[in-house]
Structure 1
C-alpha cells in the first residue's frame, strides 16, 4: 500500500463511523492500522489492506496519528487512559472524533498534555455515507500547529475540514449546538407526523409541505443570529405573543388526540416567561437571551 502523504494512521473504534473513517484512509492508500474492543469488525478492512492490531497499545505504536471514534468519552477514556496505551501514545497525536461535551474535551486535552501526547478534538457533522466523499464535513479544534501538521492525513477523509481555533472545546461546542438544532427539529417533525396521522393525513402527504417549512429556515436563522449578536429582538410583524397563540393551538390539537405535547408545552412555557418579563412585543428569538440569564 502506497501513500501520497508518506504517512500512516491508526483508527481505534470500528463502529459504523469508525469503519467508514478507516475505509476512507485505506481507500486513499494510507497504511492504516485498526483496532476494536469487540473482535471481528475489522474483517472487511483487513481484506482491503488494513492491518489489524491485537491490542490498542499495539495499534497506537504503528502510527504517529491515532484517530479515535467511539460512542462517548467514557469509552475513549477506557481505551486511551489505560497505562499501557498512555505510555505507547507518548510523543504521538490523538485526533478524537468522538462526540461528547466541551468540558470532557478540555479534560482529555489536559490529560494528554500531562502525558506528552498531542491532542486534537473534532466532530463529524455528516452521516456515515458521506465519509470519503466531497459531502463530508468535519470541524476541528486544538493546537493549530498540530492541525496543520496532520491536515494532509485528515484530508484523505474527503469533504470540508474547518479549523475553529485553539480552544480544544470549540469543536464539541459547535457539535452540541448543531445537534441541538437537529434533534429538536426531528422531535418537532415526529410530533407533526403524529398530529397529521391523527387527522387522517399520511406522512408522505405532509412531507412536501414540511420541506417547504425547512426551506424558509436558513434566512430566518441568519436574521435571528444577527439579532442575537446585536441584542436587538424586535418582533415587528411577528411578536412572541403571536407565536404563543399558535403554540397553544398545537398543544390543544395534540392533546385532543391524546398525543403528548410536552415538547411544545416546553417551548410555549419559555415564550410565556419571556412575555411575563415584559418582552411580549419582541420576537421569539428573545428566548435565547432569556435562556442565557436563567
Structure 2
C-alpha cells in the first residue's frame, strides 16, 4: 500500500508527485500517456496501468486533470468507484463551487470521503513555502490528507465543510489576478508609447505590492462592514482618474478597451449616487448585476 496516488500527470500533476517523492512519500501515479510517468518512476514512484489500479494502491487519491468533466470521465467507471469506496478523494482540478458540490454528491453516493481543493501556485512553486493549496469539504478527509497536502504545498489551509469554499476563493483570487494583469498590460502599452522600460514598471509594481495589498485589505474591511463613508478617496475621484487613462489611450492611439471597461463601471457607480462614497462602494453596482 502506497501513501497517495496521483491521477493525472500534466505539468501540475507531475509537480505534485515530485514534491511528494522529494519529501519521502510513497507515491503511485497514473496518466493516460504512460510516457509521462517514466521520469517519476525513475525517482521512485510506482506506476499504475489503470485508474482503478491507482485508486486501489493508496488510501488517498489526488486528481489533477483539466476540469471536473475530465475527472468524472475517469472516475465514473464502476471498478474505479468501487476502488475509491472508503478512501479519501482530493479533487485539485479547477472548477466552480457548483462543480465542487456535484463532486461531493457523487462521492457521498459511492462512500468516498471527498475534499475539494484549489492550487494558488504554478507548478515550479509546488513544495515551496510560497505555494498554497486551499481545501474544503469533509473534515475527516482533511485530517487524513493534511500531512500529504503539506508535502505538496507550503500551506494547505482548511476552509471548512462548505465544499464550494475552496473553489470560490480560488476564482475570487483569479479574478483579482487576471484583472490586475490586464491593468498591467495596458500600463505596459502606456510605457511603450512614451519610450519607457516595461521591465522597470514591473519592478516598481513589485516594490509597491505591500501598499497595494494594504489598500485591498482596507477595501475588504469596508465591504464586509458596509461603512462606505470616511475614505481617503472617493468613487468619483477614481472615476475621474480612469477617464484620464481612457483619454490618454485615445491621444496615444492605443487600444483603450481595458480602461473603457473600467470607466463604464465607475460611471454606473456615480450615476447611482455613490460618488461621495469609498471606491469599494462599486460593489453595490456589481451586486445588482446591471
TM bin (shorter chain): over 0.9
CA distance in 2, matches of 1:54, 1:250: 56
CA distance in 1, matches of 2:263, 2:156: 38
Q: Tell me which of 251, 257, 260 is aligned to 2:255.
A: 260
Q: What is the deviation of 1:133?
A: 2.4
- Contact 1:236–1:281 (CA<8 Å) still a contact in 2? no
Q: What is the deviation of 1:213?
A: 4.3
CA root-mean-square deviation:
1.7
- Tell me the TM-score normalised to structure 2 length: 0.94
Which range is displaced more, 171-180 or 196-205? Answer: 196-205
The answer for the alignment partner of 2:100 in structure 1 is: 105
The answer for the alignment partner of 1:144 in structure 2 is: 139
* Aligned partner of residue 134 in structure 2, secondary structure: strand
Q: What is the deviation of 1:152?
A: 2.1
Alignment map for 1:17-166 (pairs within 5 Å): 17-166=12-161
Q: Which runs of 5+ in 1 are unaligned?
A: 1-5
The answer for the alignment partner of 2:233 in structure 1 is: 238
- Contact 2:2–2:57 (CA<8 Å) still a contact in 1? no
1:9-29 deviation per Cα after TM superposition (whole angstroms, max 9, x unaligned): 100011111001111121222
Aligned residues: 289
- Contact 1:235–1:284 (CA<8 Å) still a contact in 2? no
CA distance in 1, matches of 2:148, 2:231: 50
- Contact 2:137–2:163 (CA<8 Å) still a contact in 1? yes
